[in-house]
Amino acid sequence: MTDHRINRPFFQSLLVAITVLATSLATTEHMSASPGAMTPQELQAFGKEIQQTAYSQDSAKFRALFDWTTFINRVLGDYEQNPAVKEAIQPVRKQLETAYSENNQGIDSEILAEVGSGADYRFLAMRKEDNQFKVIFRFLRPDWTLNYQALIIEKQASGELKIVDIDSLSTGELISQSLQRLYLPEIYKAHLDVKDKLSDQEKSRIINQKKRYDFLTAATDKTDPFQTYTQLPNEYKNEKIVLLFLAQNTIETENDKKYQSVLGAYRKYHPQDPAAELLSIDYFSMTKQYKQALESIDRLTAAIKTTDPYLYSVRAGVLIEMGDHNLAGKYASKASELEPDLLQPYLHLINLSVMQGQFDATIKYLDVLNDKFGFAYEDLDLSELENFDKFTASPQFKQWQSVKKVAAQPKEGSVN
């Protein structure tokens, strides 16, 4: 895959559900004053604080940025409307409260672990949507897996801003909803224990949710999800997470016709939603359907409603595969101009300069790679590039290597 990789299936565990995160992005307009509202300046400052705290790896401070009580209420609140169910699922609530207590692992720990392992966690934008305030982050792993997160923010009575949930692009659901599914077997059992105190609507809802849970957690190597899909309740057949699950299956089975069919259904029922486009950039790049990959980048860019320089780099990677080196160079250069600390555009520019025989530029970008990111020429493998032999035989390369050797020699009088 050109720019961002998919590690699937991802519906089997909470960890994967919370590391492929995001939602569409937007500007700060219409953030008017109202109860619980906040100014764009407050929201922007909080977004920067989240980023800074994540990079500091201060786990206690990062955890304190969340309102865990509200978060857990978002997980269980719908079920606790019935007093009997509320009592029956108390063990689930206790598990959640324990999971997000002082010394245990929660979604905050997952984020910090990713950042600590080299993920780029960057505050991009903010928005107000459906009376919710969100700060938008790009989550880019060292293996180029690209995610976005939209952290839902609420103002406390004290005036502090807190994260109360995270909206997920790739799964098409909130983290609170992912946790609902994780705990669904226990929630389902609790409903059965008090079934005589449930309304017909509550019985129907929990039974249908269990059917969806079984569909999403079935071993796909033993069952055909498309056959099981026909048995799903109609209310779930066009749900984002269900269609994304089917799309992933078509990728794993390399069934292009079915993938296109699922993608068409997704775009029909969820127009302008970014999840399918992020998946499709990967899919179409891997299957060498580059025109469609570029169209998916266009749709994703429109959906997120903000400029992300990394998407210029994604486009450059696809254009390289298409053989349009001149246009690829323009997009890679634009990405590095907009975000100088972004690594990947420089890798594209090195490759392109070798293939185009622009060896002075190659040397310049190699120096940038070393000085800015700490990667040496020896860390790269350029041997399969067109013109590589010409590059290593060029006067520019020989002079550059000579200068490097001199610089590496110990100075007179120095102690080794």
Give the domain ranges of the chain. Answer: 14-230, 307-405
* More confident position, 21 or 151: 151
Confidence at 411, pLDDT banded by 50, 70, 90: low
pTM, rounded to two decimals: 0.84
pLDDT > 90 fraction of the chain, expressed in percent and rounded: 73
> Is residue 14 packed enough to be buried (19+ CB in 10 Å), middle (13-18) or exposed (0-12)?
middle
The position carrying tokens 């780029």 is 120
| pLDDT of 385 strictly over 50 | yes
User: pLDDT tens digits, residue range 197-216?
Assistant: 999 999 999 999 999 999 99
> Is residue 101 packed enough to be buried (19+ CB in 10 Å), middle (13-18) or exposed (0-12)?
exposed
Mean pLDDT for all residues in the chain: 87
Distance CA(280)–CA(259), nearest Å, equals 9
User: pLDDT tens digits, residue range 341-379?
Assistant: 999 999 999 999 999 999 999 999 999 999 999 999 999
Q: Which pLDDT value is given to residue 416?
A: 52
| pLDDT of 6 strictly over 80 | no
Q: What stretches of 230-356 show up as alpha helix (H) in DSSP?
A: 234-237, 240-252, 256-269, 274-286, 290-304, 309-322, 325-338, 344-355
Dihedral (CA of 142, 50, 124, 69) sign? positive
| pLDDT of 280 strictly over 90 | yes
- 3-state SS of 151-209 is EEEEECCCCCEEEEEEEECCCCCEHHHHHHHHCHHHHHHHHHHCHHHCCHHHHHHHHHH
Q: Could you check whether the bond before residue 340 is cis, i.e. omega within 30 degrees of 0?
A: no
Q: Which pLDDT value is given to residue 405?
A: 82
User: pLDDT tens digits, residue range 237-266?
Assistant: 999 999 999 999 999 889 999 999 999 999
Q: Which pLDDT value is given to residue 37?
A: 80
| pLDDT of 301 strictly over 70 | yes
- Across 170-191, average pLDDT: 92
Question: What backbone torsions phi and psi does residue 150 show, to the nearest 5 degrees?
Answer: -115, 110
- Across 19-29, average pLDDT: 34
Q: Which of 344, 326, 327, 322 is nearest to 335 (CA)?
A: 344
**CATH code of domain 307-405:** 1.25.40.10
Strands of the 120-129 sheet, one edge to the other: 120-129, 132-140, 146-155, 161-168
Q: Which pLDDT value is given to residue 220?
A: 64
Confidence at 30, pLDDT banded by 50, 70, 90: very low
Q: Which pLDDT value is given to residue 54?
A: 97
Confidence at 130, pLDDT banded by 50, 70, 90: confident
Strand partners, 46: none
b/e sequence 148-181, b meaning 16+ C-beta within 10 Å: bbbbbbbbeeeeebbbbbbbbbbbbbbbbbbbbb
| pLDDT of 87 strictly over 60 | yes
Q: Which pLDDT value is given to residue 2?
A: 32
Q: Which pLDDT value is given to residue 151?
A: 95
* More confident position, 106 or 187: 187
Whole-angstrom CA distances from 126 to 115, 264, 380 are 21, 29, 37
| pLDDT of 84 strictly over 70 | yes
Q: Which pLDDT value is given to residue 10?
A: 35
Q: In angstroms, how far is the first alpha carbon of the chain from the final one?
A: 44
Q: Which pLDDT value is given to residue 169?
A: 75
Question: What backbone torsions phi and psi does residue 262 show, to the nearest 5 degrees?
Answer: -65, -40
**Run of H or E including 111:** helix 107-116
The two structure tokens encoding residue 323: 């053989």
